[in-house]
Structure 1
Amino acid sequence: MKHVAVFGAGRIGRIHAANLAALPGVQVRYVCDPVADSAASLAQSVGAEVVSIDAAFADPAIDVVAITSPTDTHSELIGHAAAARKHIFCEKPIDLSVPRAVACAEAVKAAGVACMIGFQRRFDPTFNAAKERLARGEIGVPEVLIVTSRDPGAPPAQYLKASGGIFRDMLIHDFDVFRWILGDEAAWVSATGSCLVDPEIAEIGDIDTAAVTLRTRSGKLCQINTSRRAAYGYDQRFEVLGSTGLLACGNHRPTELVQMDANGVHSDKPEHFFLQRYRDAYRLEVAHFFECLQTGAPFRTTIEDGVQAQKLADAAAESLKSGQAVVL
């Protein structure tokens, strides 16, 4: 039996805690969150106890910590967990600072504990099927990746102020997909953007619409287009052009029902948001985490993946500011 402490009782913490509690051989023992009502509600739903952060780390019975708290707490909690010799599952990003993210990776390595970063898109059944087909060579050598990533609406400005900006908060997932799907590292990054959705986002120094182009060391190309607004739902697609074919991963819809009548052809809009779109991915990633702890197999997403995605986010932010491409 693995005993887990969950840090963070917000929206994503509730998803992970419920998935953890449903796993055989796993017990969510503690929930830690400064918002007492949220902590108590989540703890009750998974049969856990609300305790302080220090109490959770001090309990030798805790094998694993799940860090699902706000971004600006991640690196500190990773450091505490490494010092306490607890295995770590942490939502992205590691930190908003690349040097601090690197320091976390070094602390984890020195402590000899396992650490997996929550890039859930690698566990989405559709996206993962594309990766498996690429690995089998079904479309030859991948040459171009096109990623579309659009939220149905922008989060509150209060959230965005602490998010690190659109590249570190939103596109970091797409930068991870870029590295994962093309199996190569970026050599060149160019980014541009605008504030077209909400002028308040511009007032806090961020953008809500972006286009990023990357070239890998071997010359493969990637284009990412993203927006904080898609009136029709959560738009998450990519396609890979290979030397002998193409793989296209489309949106998920609540149902696949199609109605055809005199007024046209109608189907459901895409899933509303990431909690619905990636419900299976969130479940599969925590199952993978504990399976790897049990077998010693490598994680599909490591803390080094988190560091590399953060570096790409920083390069994109630098390119946006300077108006010039960044050579890595």
Structure 2
Amino acid sequence: MINIGIIGAGRIGRLHAENMQHIPNVKIKGISDVMIAQMEDWAKEKNISIVTDNYEDLLRDPEIHAIFVCSPTTTHAEIIKKAAAAGKHIFCEKPVSFSVEETVEVINEVEKAGVKFQVGFNRRFDPNFKRLHDLVQQGQIGTPHILKITSRDPKPPTIDYVRTSGGLFMDMMIHDFDMARYIVNSEVVEVFAQGAVLIDSEIGKAGDIDTAVVTLKFENGALGVIDNSRQAVYGYDQRVEIFGDKGAATADNCRPTTVELSTSDHVVKDKPLYFFLERYSEAYIEEVKQFVHACMDNESVLCSGFDGLQAQRIAKAAQESFEKGVPVKVEF
């Protein structure tokens, strides 16, 4: 049995807690949030014995083996360092921080403590995208030449969220930067980013963009293109194609059913699943299972602090490229 403490009882913290109820050998012993008074009834329903507004209560508990960091990004680095010093294994939602230098510092502290550290890039654990990764690894498409990733949300986040998100590249496209490294199995060495405010002028006033296209150059010579939009009116649009000298592999959108109706008037199929909680429900469960496995069997995690750092470095370069209007090398 592995005892878990969850720091941050917002949407993603509660999602992990719900999923852990169905994972063998996992017990949520405690949960912490500054607004925890509003979560007490919910926590009681989940048989969570420690409910606190001070996350250090969880770090001090010798029976808690691992910590899930699901709090705002600005708090991640401090919590991770303290959790590592307390000897806890750590799962952290992306990004590790908003600063490359701070993330490097965090990784050094984790390595010094000798604990497991997994970053929550859940898309690696999606069966469709993992299949693409495996096909590339097996040589089924030959040498990768072109990667295309489309990632579009069904509706924009709130303006309050936008103001504290770190920007589209760090908040949204960072998932796609990780996916690019994961599928092509090569580092991104240069990016060229273009962006615009085409959906909501308030997003622009908050200092962000809602639409972006980024081209990538990989260390192995492959090229990539990512497009993001904060609003796809037809649903959550998540598609990936990898093309090589022996063929191509594509992961299409997930839909409620695979039924396609064809008549003399039209051809109709279901819209894509509406939001990330539906689209990646299986991936969220699998990433927790793999983290628990790594902790209990002393195996390597499948999405490390280094992976988080590399995606963050690409996001930083993309932001710089967008601001300067020129391609930017990714600093390693």
TM range (shorter): over 0.9
Runs of at least 5 residues in structure 2 that lack an aligned partner in the other structure: none
How far residue 262 of structure 1 moved from its aligned partner, in angstroms, is 4.0
How far does residue 139 in structure 1 lie from its aligned partner after superposition? 1.0
| 1:179 aligned to which of 178, 181, 206 | 181
Cα distance in 2, alignment partners of residues 3 and 297 from structure 1: 18
One-letter identity of the residue aligned with 2:39: A
Instruction: After superposition, give the CA deviation of every residue in 1:215-251 in whole Å (9 maximum; x if it has no partner).
Output: 0122110100110010000000010001110000000
Pairing of 1:70-109 with structure 2 (within 5 A): 70-109=72-111
Deviation of 1:102 after TM superposition, in Å, equals: 0.8
1:50 aligns to 2:51 (yes or no): yes
Per-residue CA deviation, residues 109-150 of structure 1 (Å, 9 max, x unaligned), is 011110000100000001101111111111111111000010
Q: Which residue of 1 aligns with 2:10?
A: 10
Q: Deviations over 1:152-191 (max 9, x none)?
A: 0110010111110000000000000111111111121110
SS in structure 2 at match of 1:253: coil
Matches within 5 A, 1:114-125: 114-125=116-127
Is 143-152 or 70-79 further displaced after alignment? 70-79
How far does residue 41 in structure 1 lie from its aligned partner after superposition? 4.1
Q: Flag the 1:112–1:251 CA change in 2: closer, same or farther, 3 A.
A: same
Counterpart of 1:316 in structure 2 is 318
**Secondary structure, aligned partner of 1:29:** strand
Greater shift, 183-192 or 44-53, is seen at 44-53
Do the aligned partners of 1:32 and 1:39 also contact (CA within 8 Å) in 2?
no
Deviation at 1:254, TM superposition (A): 1.3
Deviation at 1:42, TM superposition (A): 3.8
Q: CA deviation at 1:46?
A: 2.0
* CA spacing shift, 1:323–1:41, aligned 2, 3 Å: farther
Moved more, 162-171 or 74-83: 74-83
Q: Is the 8 A contact 1:14 1:42 kept in 2?
A: no
Deviation at 1:107, TM superposition (A): 0.6
Hey, what does 2:298 align to over in structure 1? 296
Correspondence 1:128 to 2:130 = yes
1:102 & 1:84 partners in 2: Cα distance? 19
TM-score by length of 2: 0.96
Find the aligned partners of 1:42 and 1:305 in 2 and give their Cα distance: 34
Match in the other structure for 1:142: 144
Change in CA separation of 1:38 and 1:168 when aligned onto 2, cut-off 3 Å: farther
Q: CA deviation at 1:296?
A: 2.2
Rounded Cα–Cα distance in structure 2 between residues aligned with 1:44 and 1:311: 41
Residue in structure 1 matched with residue 28 of structure 2 by the alignment: 28
In 2, distance between residues paired with 1:99 and 1:3? 31
Deviation at 1:279, TM superposition (A): 0.2
Counterpart residue identity of residue 260, structure 1: S
Unmatched segments (≥5 aa) in structure 1 = none
Match of 2:40 in 1: 40
Distance 1:302 1:7 in 2: 19
SS of equivalent residue, structure 1 residue 298: coil
Give the secondary-structure state (helix, strand or coil) at the position aligned to 2:209.
coil
Aligned residue for 2:203, secondary structure, equals: helix
Identity of aligned residues (%): 43
CA distance in 2, matches of 1:25, 1:192: 46
Hey, what does 2:19 align to over in structure 1? 19
Rounded Cα–Cα distance in structure 1 between residues aligned with 2:223 and 2:97: 27
1:261-300 pair list within 5 angstroms: 261-300=263-302
TM-score (norm 1): 0.98
**Closer, same or farther: CA 72–42 of 1 in aligned 2, 3 Å:** farther
Counterpart for residue 154 of structure 2: 152
Q: Which moved more, 1:29-38 or 1:182-191?
A: 29-38
Comparing 196-205 and 296-305, the one that deviates more: 296-305
